[in-house]
Amino acid sequence: MTTTITTTEELDALPSGAVVLDRKGDAWQESEGWYHTLRDAAAEPVGLIEEWGPLTLLHPQPEPAQEPTVVTDLSTLRPGDVIEIRLGDITTRGTVGKVHIVSDGKITRVDRITTPDGQTLWSGLFLSLQRFELYLVSTAKPPLPTHTGAVLTRAVIRGEEVEGPIALDHDGDWRASRKVKGFWYHRPESITDWTIGRVVEADAETDQ
């Protein structure tokens, strides 16, 4: 599978040592936030995209998408989960809204299931494992905290796995436990995956 990179944000999210191919067929490798060719040319991500994009990712290759897993207990569904619903020859996917457990995880009422473009697929649907085949496509991720003092135990920052603690400062930047591509502080948009260790409520932030 070929991955095409067209934005600086996509380029910044790649791990250290990533290799991309520009539109003329030259390879560039990342090192400390810059990209270099074998001819000693160098470019920052924004310049590489603007002058040589679109780019093709050569290394690392993206992992194949995981197959949906069978749902055996409806009580495990959470708002924001993406599920696949199969009924005979009909298969559809949607995002779960508010969930109400009706009967020991066997029957669950979902307020709304929406399609990827935001359209309501079903409203007030009672899901039953006796009637539907249900598959979990992806689980909902808790939002990235926004209040000063919040801590992540781990995160993927600019494409690199970083162990915590990673703390949110008063300027809205996350301070990593080590430098990532030459920087200690990172904007929220540079973080693509995370595990929350501590959440600070708005009142607690005000009291600090």
Are 54 and 83 in a shared domain? no
Domain match, 10 and 51 both: yes
Of 115, 138, 161, the one marking the end of a domain is: 138
Are 91 and 30 in the same domain?
Answer: no
Length of the chain: 208
Q: Domain span at residue 27?
A: 4-59
Tell me which residue of 100, 70, 95, 65 sits closest to 83, measured CA to CA. Answer: 95
Mean pLDDT of 160-175: 90
Using one digit for the tens of pLDDT, what is the confidence trace for 121-158? 677 777 787 888 889 988 877 888 888 888 998 898 98
Residue where a domain terminates, one of 103, 138, 173: 138
Q: What's the CATH number where 83 sits? A: 2.30.30
Looking at residue 208, its pLDDT comes to: 46
Write the CB contacts of 37 (distance below 8 Å, at least 6 apart in sequence). 26, 27, 28, 29
- The token pair that represents 3 in the structure block: 């991955």
Look at the chain and report how many structural domains it folds into: 3
Residues 78-118: tens digit of each pLDDT? 888 888 888 888 888 888 877 777 766 667 777 777 766 66
Longest dimension (CA), the chain: 66
* For residue 174, pLDDT beyond 90: yes
Reply yes or no on whether the pLDDT at 70 is more than 70. Answer: yes
Q: Kindly state the DSSP code that residue 48 receives in the 8-state scheme.
A: H
pLDDT at 116 (0 to 100): 62
Residue 131 inside a domain? The answer is yes
Average pLDDT for the chain: 82
- Distance in angstroms (rounded) separating the CA atoms of residues 185 and 158: 11
